[in-house]
Amino acid sequence: MTAGEERTVLRLPLLRALLAQGLALALVVVLVYLLALLPWRMSLFSVALLQGVVAAGIGWRLGLSRWWLWINLAFLPALLVMQRADLPAWLFLLGFVLLLLVNWNSLREQVPLYLSGRKAQQRLQQCLSEREPPLRFVDLGCGTAGTVLQLARRFPRGQFVGVETAPLLFVFAWLRCLLQENCSIRYRSLWQVELGDFDVVYCFLSPVPMARLWAKARSEMAPGSWFISNSFEVPGVVADETIELHDWRHSRLLLWRIRGSLGLARGAGDTPCITEQLE
C-alpha cells in the first residue's frame, strides 16, 4: 500500500473512531492504575464514562464529525448499561439492522457515510452562483440530503436531485425534501444515473469508485458541465481547480470542467469559481 493510499484509508470515519476508542482505552487504563496506587478507586461506570469523554476528545482531534463524537462518547457506557440491564436479544438484532440500513453502501460498494460540512456547502454555493440559471445539480450518494436541500433553498430556479441507496438514509432524505419543490430524492444507484442530464455532478464517496465514476462522467456529461468531488481524487487526473475548505477534516473540493469527448480541461476563458477566502 502506498503512502497516499494509507492516508486515504485513515480518512475513513470508522477507522478513526476505532483508533480513538483504542487510544482512549489505553490512556484510561494507565490513569486508573496510577489512581489505584494512591489509593483512589473509581466505579466501573465512572471509568467507562471517562473513557467515552477521552475517546470523543481524541475523535474530535482526528476530525470526526459531531455524530461520531457522540458515538465515541456513548459506546463503552452503553455497552456497560446493556450488560447490566439484561436486555432482550431482539434489541441487539434491531441495533444491528439499523446500522446495516445506514451503512449499506459501506458493505456493498466500500463507500462509507460522509456528510459535507458547512464550509463545503458555502463553497458549493459560491461555485454554483457562477453558472447561468436554470441549474441542474445531482448529489451522488446524498446521505441525509443536507447539502442538496441547502442548495435547493439557495437556488430556487434550479433543479436539485439526490440519489441514495442506503435504505434508512434514503427515507430520511426523502422526508426532508418532501416540501421543497425543486429538490427530489431518488432511491437509485449512482451507476444508474444518467449524468448527462445535469450541469453539475457532486460526490463525496471514497477512493474506490472514483476511477470508474470518472470514466462514466467523461462518457456522459456534456461539454461545459462540472464534475466536483469532495476530497477524493480521480487517479491520474489533475483537477482544474482545487478549493481548500480549511476545516478540521482538511477537506477540499476538486473541480473538473468537462470539455468535449476527450475529457476535461480548463478552457482559455475559464476563471476560478471562487476567489475569496472564507473566514
62 with 156, same domain?
Answer: no
137 with 252, same domain?
Answer: yes
83 with 156, same domain?
Answer: no
Task: For residue 237, tell me if it sits in a domain.
Answer: yes
Task: For residue 97, tell me if it sits in a domain.
Answer: no
Range of the domain at 198: 118-262
Task: For residue 228, tell me if it sits in a domain.
Answer: yes
Contact 226, 257 (CB under 8 A): yes
CB atoms within 10 A of CB 205: 21
Contact 16, 59 (CB under 8 A): yes
The whole-number pLDDT of residue 237 equals 94
The whole-number pLDDT of residue 64 equals 72
140 with 226, same domain?
Answer: yes
The residue among 87, 197, 93 whose CA lies nearest residue 140 is 197
Task: For residue 217, tell me if it sits in a domain.
Answer: yes
Task: For residue 278, tell me if it sits in a domain.
Answer: no
Residue 200: give its domain's CATH number. Answer: 3.40.50.150
| CA angle 19–67–53, rounded 5-degree value | 55
The whole-number pLDDT of residue 3 equals 47
DSSP H helices in 37-65: 44-61
The whole-number pLDDT of residue 263 equals 47
The whole-number pLDDT of residue 277 equals 41
Determine the Cα–Cα distance for residues 49 and 51; give it in Å rounded to an integer. Answer: 5
189 with 124, same domain?
Answer: yes
83 with 132, same domain?
Answer: no
Task: For residue 230, tell me if it sits in a domain.
Answer: yes
Task: For residue 254, tell me if it sits in a domain.
Answer: yes
pLDDT in tens, 164-221: 988 888 999 999 999 999 999 999 989 999 999 999 999 998 888 899 999 999 999 9
Task: For residue 72, tell me if it sits in a domain.
Answer: yes
| Number of domains, the chain | 2
132 with 255, same domain?
Answer: yes
The whole-number pLDDT of residue 200 equals 96
The whole-number pLDDT of residue 35 equals 83
The whole-number pLDDT of residue 65 equals 65
Indicate the burial class of 2 (C-beta count within 10 angstroms; 0-12, 13-18, 19 or more): exposed
Query: Which DSSP state fits 261?
Result: G
Cell reading at 20: 480513538
The whole-number pLDDT of residue 6 equals 46
Using DSSP, state whether 130 is helix, strand or coil.
Answer: coil
Contact 251, 225 (CB under 8 A): no
CB atoms within 10 A of CB 183: 26
77 with 129, same domain?
Answer: no
The whole-number pLDDT of residue 279 equals 38
The whole-number pLDDT of residue 81 equals 79
Evaluate the CA torsion angle 142, 146, 152, 154 in order and state its sign.
negative
77 with 202, same domain?
Answer: no
Query: Residues of the chain whose pLDDT is less than 70?
Result: 1-14, 65, 67, 87-113, 248-249, 260-279
Query: Which DSSP state fits 157?
Result: T
Helix 13-36 to helix 3-10 angle (10° resolution) is 70
